[in-house]
């Protein structure tokens, strides 16, 4: 009898280790998720959720033994779809197991691991990743508990802490930075162009409006652009070069896997004008050729300069602390509940043994001869006998005390939990989440670098 074999495993790359170019190659567009999930399933990962954002590409799966083999399968798949060398992928990757994986996923979903700490847009991205796994058939028993729990926790952060009310997001940050750089003396007459029509573009358009700024939108499908700013300010893709030539501030946020604006296009747009152009590239991979920053009069800002860990804003830092406490408590509670549930096999085995013994003794000592009466007596006695052992088993499982579970099994004469492989760790032997400092991740025993 094994108390628990499955434990969460998170493997992937994030902005703290991988460069923007490397993330650009490894991240997946929405339409590529189904193929990636199928590739992981073919590699033996029956449960898999792929989270691909501008800050990370991570796979949440499970492992029943040593994490090395399963993590290796994920890294092989990432190397295949990104084209990055396997050794390079391995040197950048984070591998988290058990409680550290849970703690990490809860923090990610709440925006606490984002480039812009507290980014509220991550919640929608996690929802999308979860939905894609369901559609691909790779959402299994453990991920079906873990992902919804992390989503519920993030919703609580948004509604119960100041961090959620501040509505921090990279798109809003991009607007604020872009407007400050493009119009240091005031926004009157500022001409703004947004390229793209997805979630980031929508948030950017909405935030521009709070600055009192109208914008034009270029999108491959003008009808999507019209939904953001109306038909009069929606532009066809073919007009991109002309619109760039008219803009003072350009915000790029498409899902294209390549540059949509080259250095030559930017150079041509600047040839007929004498005012500077500020470009903010929100995309991963980048929408704008980095060489564009070499064109005279052009200032190019990418995601590497939009990050903010909140340490320099006392109000945001306090809100992050409040959110962190909520997230840590929710992750701990999830792990404890999950571990306690794994006491079930022990409790069932002990209960069956007590029932057998009770039935035999009642028959031997003149108990009820009627089967129904005998069953009722057994049920009543077993209920009283099992109350304390069941409580102890659940508490031991939640505390990770397998020794106590073994002793309980021995005391009642049932087979103890089965021995695991040397490299295996059950949910009941997870260690508490390691503390994190503001300077970066903590590399504890469940972090593996290859």
- Residues known to be catalytic: 54
**8 A C-beta contact, residue 82 and residue 54:** no
Closest CA to 66 of 99, 104, 98, 28: 98
Closest CA to 8 of 141, 117, 134, 197: 141
CB contact set of 235 (below 8 Å; sequence gap of 6+)? 216, 217, 218, 219, 222, 225, 243
Was 307 annotated as part of a binding site? no
Was 120 annotated as part of a binding site? yes
For the chain, give percent helix, strand, coil, nearest 5.
55, 10, 35
Was 55 annotated as part of a binding site? yes
User: What distance in Å separates the CA atoms of residue 310 and residue 319, rounded to the nearest whole number?
Assistant: 9
Was 54 annotated as part of a binding site? yes
387 HSE (CA, 13 A, CB side): 6
Was 82 annotated as part of a binding site? no
**Element (H or E) spanning 94, and its range?**
strand 94-97
**8 A C-beta contact, residue 7 and residue 425:** yes
Closest CA to 145 of 333, 395, 424: 333
Was 197 annotated as part of a binding site? yes
Was 76 annotated as part of a binding site? no
**8 A C-beta contact, residue 287 and residue 281:** yes
Was 199 annotated as part of a binding site? yes
Q: Where are the alpha helices (DSSP H) in 6-142?
A: 20-26, 33-42, 67-82, 86-92, 99-109, 122-136
**8 A C-beta contact, residue 45 and residue 70:** yes
Reduce the DSSP state of residue 2 to 3 states and report it: coil
Was 270 annotated as part of a binding site? no
* Placement of tokens 């509505």 in the chain: 167
Was 68 annotated as part of a binding site? no
Was 267 annotated as part of a binding site? no
State the greatest distance between any 2 C-alpha atoms of the chain, in Å, as a whole number. 106
Q: Which residues are annotated as a binding site for NADP(+)?
A: 196-201
Q: Which residues are annotated as a binding site for substrate?
A: 53-56, 114, 119-121, 125
Q: Which residues are annotated as a binding site?
A: 53-56, 114, 119-121, 125, 196-201
């Amino acid at each position: 009898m094994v108390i628990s074999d499955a434990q969460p495993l998170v493997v992937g790359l994030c902005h703290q280790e991988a460069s923007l170019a490397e993330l650009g190659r490894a991240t997946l567009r929405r339409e590529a998720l189904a193929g990636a999930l199928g590739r992981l399933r073919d590699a033996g990962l029956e449960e898999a959720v792929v989270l691909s954002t501008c800050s990370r590409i991570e796979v949440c799966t499970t492992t029943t033994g040593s994490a090395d083999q399963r993590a290796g399968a994920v890294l092989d798949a990432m190397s295949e779809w990104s084209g990055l060398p396997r050794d390079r992928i391995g040197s950048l990757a984070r591998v988290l197991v058990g409680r550290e994986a849970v703690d990490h996923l809860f923090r990610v979903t709440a925006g606490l691991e984002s480039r812009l700490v507290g980014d509220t847009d991550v919640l929608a991205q996690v929802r999308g990743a979860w939905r894609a796994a369901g559609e691909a058939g790779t959402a299994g028993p453990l991920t079906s508990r873990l992902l919804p729990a992390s989503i519920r926790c993030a919703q609580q952060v948004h509604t119960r802490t100041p961090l959620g009310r501040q509505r921090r997001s990279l798109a809003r940050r991009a607007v604020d930075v872009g407007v400050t750089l493009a119009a240091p003396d005031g926004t009157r007459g500022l001409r703004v162009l947004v390229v793209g029509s997805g979630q980031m573009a929508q948030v950017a358009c909405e935030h521009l409006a709070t600055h009192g700024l109208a914008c034009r939108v270029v999108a491959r499908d003008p009808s999507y652009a019209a939904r953001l700013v109306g038909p009069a300010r929606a532009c066809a893709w073919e007009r991109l070069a002309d619109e760039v030539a008219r803009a003072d501030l350009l915000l790029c946020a498409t899902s294209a896997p390549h540059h949509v604006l080259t250095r030559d296009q930017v150079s041509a747009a600047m040839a007929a004008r004498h005012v500077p152009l500020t470009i903010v590239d929100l995309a991963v991979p980048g929408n704008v050729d980095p060489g564009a920053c070499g064109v005279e009069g052009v200032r190019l800002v990418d995601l590497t300069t939009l990050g903010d860990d909140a340490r320099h804003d006392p109000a945001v830092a306090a809100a992050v602390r409040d959110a962190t406490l909520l997230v840590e408590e929710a992750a701990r509670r999830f792990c404890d509940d999950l571990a306690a549930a794994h006491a079930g096999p022990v409790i069932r085995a002990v209960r069956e043994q007590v029932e057998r013994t009770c039935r035999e003794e009642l028959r031997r000592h003149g108990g009820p001869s009627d089967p129904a009466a005998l069953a009722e007596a057994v049920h009543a006695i077993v209920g009283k006998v099992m109350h304390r052992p069941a409580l102890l088993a659940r508490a031991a499982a939640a505390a990770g005390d397998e020794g106590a579970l073994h002793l309980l099994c021995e005391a009642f004469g049932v087979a103890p939990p089965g021995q695991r492989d040397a490299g295996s760790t059950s949910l009941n032997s997870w260690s508490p989440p390691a503390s994190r400092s503001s300077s970066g991740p903590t590399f504890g025993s469940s972090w593996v670098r290859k």
